[in-house]
Structure 1
Amino acid sequence: MKTIAITKYGSADEFKEIDMDRPVPQENEVLVKIHAFSINPMDIAGRMGALGTPFTDKWSFPLVLGWDFSGVVVQVGSQITDFKVGDGVFGSAKTAHEANNGTYSEYVATDTTELTHLPNGLTFDQAAALPIGGVTAYYGMNHSLKLQPGQKILIQGGAGGVGLFAVQIAKAFGAYVATTASENHRELLKSLGADKVIDYHKESPADVLNDFDAVFDTVGDIDTGLKVLKPEGKLITIAAQPTKEQKNASFQFTHGTGKDLDALAELVLSKKIKLEIQSLPFSVESVVAAHKSIEGRHTTGKIVIHEEN
């Protein structure tokens, strides 16, 4: 099968097109013909050798990176009952996948922990953009923070891949949403429902916000986030490890499920989430360009790589 892989850790220019053996699904797995995959910041960390266990436990070179995908089931293991050959699906590959079993590829074999059916009306490109970024944000709003209508939340880093989801999901939950971003993202975030956009280059949220119920931190600025909370408020971060002194702060370990993906898909289909997607054709050049864009913080929303029609 055709893959876009690396033969050593390093820069984005290490990617090559390499023919590798197709992964073989285990009895509790499905094999999916990939139609599209998206690229996440953790992919960049993986390419640079900055991810440790459990991600790298089964890795060797050549290595196919990637987790998010959408496609069609072409084979099912003997224990699989909820999916059949021909089903459109989307989800996230196993955290600790084998070297030939990332999603920058024609096929992926994965269990069904974070897999669901592709609903009518959702495209393969849209579906591939949802899993890691969308589930991380949804898990934060729904499970970690248990956000309620009328509550006030600050989302630090609203224009990033996770932040854009978080702003829209928080609004769908009925919250008042403040967020931080650079001035050039103000209009986009306002159009997505943000009630207040703070240009972090010019002012600190701690100087203009107070008595907030929740903070969702995607940038690693826990101290500033804690300053806007009410005494019983809660901060969840996906970008730093809180110290013992930061008592109202917790790190989020995301454990997404197919039901979380279903909820995200419904929010997209009901137009409560607007996806910002840049779609590129399946090629080494596309993956290199995507990695460099994300690494240089030049990306708004998600970059999706899809097969040619």
Structure 2
Amino acid sequence: MKTIAIDKYGTAKEFYTAEMPQPVPQADEVLVKVHAFSINPMDIAGRMGALGAPFTDLWSFPLVLGWDFAGTVAQVGDQVTGFAVGDAVFGSVSSAHAANNGTYGEYVAAGTKELAHIPAGLSFDQAAALPIAGMTAYYGMKHNLNLQAGQKILIQGGAGGVGLFAVQIAKAFGAHVATTASENHREMLEQLGADEVIDYHQTSPAEVLHDYDAVFDTVGDIETGLKVLKADGQLATIAGQPTPEQQHDQQKKVAFQFTNGSSADLTALADLVTSGKIKLTLDVHDFTVENVIAAHETIEAHHTTGKIVIHVTD
């Protein structure tokens, strides 16, 4: 099968086109013919060799990166139920996948814990954009922060890949949503439902927001987030490790989020898209090594808004 791989850690220029054997699914896995995959900051860290164990313990070269995918089931393991050959599915592969089992290829073997059927009205390109960024935001709102209608939440970094999902999911849950972003993203975020957009270049949210129920931090500014919270509020961060002092700030709860999503969460996330409560911002490109290189370089330069998707086949 065709893949886009690397032979060593380094810059995006290390990518090249390689023919590799199809992954062999285990008894509890399905083999998926990939129609689209999306690219995440995690991919960039993997390419640079910055993820460490357990990733580097399992990886060898040539290495196929990638986690998010959408496609059709080509083979079903003996222990798999609920999925059949020909099903349109989307999800993500195990975080520490084998070296030749990333999603930058024509086939991927995937477990069913974070695999879901693609609902009517959702394209492969749209579905491929959801798993890691969308699941991270959904898990934060639904399970970690337990966000309720009428509560107030600050989402730090609303224009990023995870932030765009978080703003819309929080709004769908009925919360009052404030977010930080550059001024050039204000109009877009307001159109997506943000009640307040704070230009962090000009104003600290701690100067204008008070007594918030929750903070979802995607930028690593935990200290500012804590100042926004009410005494018994809670903060979840995906971008930094709270210090012991921050973890014992009055009655406030602060913790790094470990996302443990499920098929049901993916299905709920997809339903929010098909119902129009989440609008996707996609930048779709064909399956070429040049486009993967450009995607990595764009994400590294922090020039993305929304998700970059690579379209493999119809």
Unaligned runs of 5+ residues in structure 1 are none
Give deviations 1:221-280, integer Å, cap 9, x for gaps.
000000000000000000000011112310000001111100010000000000000000
Residue 129 of structure 2 corresponds to which residue in structure 1? 129
1:202-241 to structure 2, matched below 5 A, reads: 202-241=202-241
1:158-197 to structure 2, matched below 5 A, reads: 158-197=158-197
Q: CA deviation at 1:196?
A: 0.3
The match for 1:278 among 272, 276, 283 is 283
1:115 aligns with 2:115: yes
**3-state secondary structure, aligned to 2:271:** helix
1:253 aligns with 2:239: no
The match for 1:295 among 296, 300, 311 is 300
Structure 1 runs of 4+ aligned residues shifted over 3 Å read: none
> Structure 1 CA distance, aligned partners of 2:200 and 2:310?
31
Percent sequence identity over aligned pairs: 72
Residue 27 of structure 2 corresponds to which residue in structure 1? 27
What is the letter of the counterpart of residue 14 of structure 1?
A: E
Q: TM-score, normalised by structure 1?
A: 0.99
Q: CA deviation at 1:110?
A: 1.1
What is the letter of the counterpart of residue 305 of structure 1?
A: I
Q: CA RMSD in A?
A: 0.7
**3-state secondary structure, aligned to 1:203:** coil
1:43 aligns with 2:31: no
> Structure 1 CA distance, aligned partners of 2:295 and 2:120?
28
1:133-144 to structure 2, matched below 5 A, reads: 133-144=133-144
> Structure 1 CA distance, aligned partners of 2:286 and 2:148?
40
> Structure 1 CA distance, aligned partners of 2:275 and 2:76?
31
> Structure 2 CA distance, aligned partners of 1:46 and 1:67?
11
> Structure 1 CA distance, aligned partners of 2:3 and 2:189?
36
**3-state secondary structure, aligned to 2:159:** coil
The number of residues matched between the two structures is 309
Q: Quick check: 2:36–2:313 contact (8 Å CA) kept in 1?
A: no
**3-state secondary structure, aligned to 2:34:** strand
**3-state secondary structure, aligned to 2:69:** strand
> Structure 1 CA distance, aligned partners of 2:70 and 2:52?
26
